[in-house]
Amino acid sequence: MLTIACLSVLNDNYIYLLHDASAQKTAAVDPALAEPVLKMLKERGWQLDYIFNTHHHGDHVGGNLQLKQATGCKIVGAAADGARIPGIDIAVNEDEQIQLGSCNFKIINTPGHTLGHIVYYCAESHALFCGDTLFSLGCGRLFEGTAEQMWHSLQKLKALPGDTRIYCAHEYTQANGRFALTLEADNPDLQRRTREVAALREQNRPTLPSTIALELATNPFLREHSSSLRKAVAAHDTETPAQVFAKVRLLKDRF
């Protein structure tokens, strides 16, 4: 059984600590900072065995080297991005697996936000650690990849079971919801979701995890088939889903 603990750091980052009690194995996902991780490890009596990095940005790998020095943990990252992941020990590729105790994490390549972005999917725990590829009600900016690359990456995540819980790396849900409503104001699922998000944020509570099913119903970056969304972005009948996605991404960049 995987225990998932969430640490809120910096302005809006989340670090996740994953712990398998049966094997006493622990991993940290995208540690922006070392100190909060070390503090929680001490409080819970856990030993850090792995760092799972989704991509090379500083607010995801900033704690790598200090944590490795303090704990002797192994750092996992994309083989395609090995030169940009500080302290990398285990370079992984698409469809390979990393085992944390009894939990197997499948690696899925998701270029778009960065060219070497990967995500970690644990089917047994119905959990996806997706960094900056998929957000609750949003997706990552295209810093290195193309809109078509990101669209293809998101198709992989859309195909996961609906009850898959989404653990992304930032608390962007409320702002993403405001944008989503400009495209699908008549979507009752989206209306309900934005009300729930507002209530959570008023209490300073995380809006995560979301689920694949909830994102399919409300996230504009996964809803290029929606007639109201296509109308909102002035999509022509001949435009492909990837082209509609690109229009949505461009509108969000300017929002």
Catalytic residue positions?
Answer: 55, 57, 59-60, 113, 132, 170
Q: Is 57 annotated as a binding residue?
A: yes
Pairing of strands 127-131, 97-100: unpaired
Residues comprising the chain, all counted: 255
Intra-chain end-to-end CA distance of the chain, in Å: 41
Alpha helices in the chain (DSSP H): 35-44, 58-61, 64-71, 147-158, 173-183, 188-202, 212-218, 227-232, 241-254
Beta-bridged to residue 118, according to DSSP, are 109
CA distance 81 to 68: 19
Q: Where are the beta strands (DSSP E) in 110-164?
A: 118-122, 127-131, 134-135, 138-139
Q: Is 132 annotated as a binding residue?
A: yes
Q: Is 225 annotated as a binding residue?
A: no
Find out whether 105 and 121 touch, Cβ atoms under 8 Å: yes
Share in percent of the chain as helix, strand, coil (round to 5): 40, 25, 35
Q: Is 81 annotated as a binding residue?
A: no
The position carrying tokens 């197997």 is 104
Rounding to the nearest 10 degrees, give the CA dihedral for residues 233, 115, 122, 101.
-160
Q: Is 170 annotated as a binding residue?
A: yes
CA distance 98 to 27: 11
How many Å separate Cα 184 from the centre of its chain?
23
Binding-site members are 55, 57, 59-60, 113, 132, 170
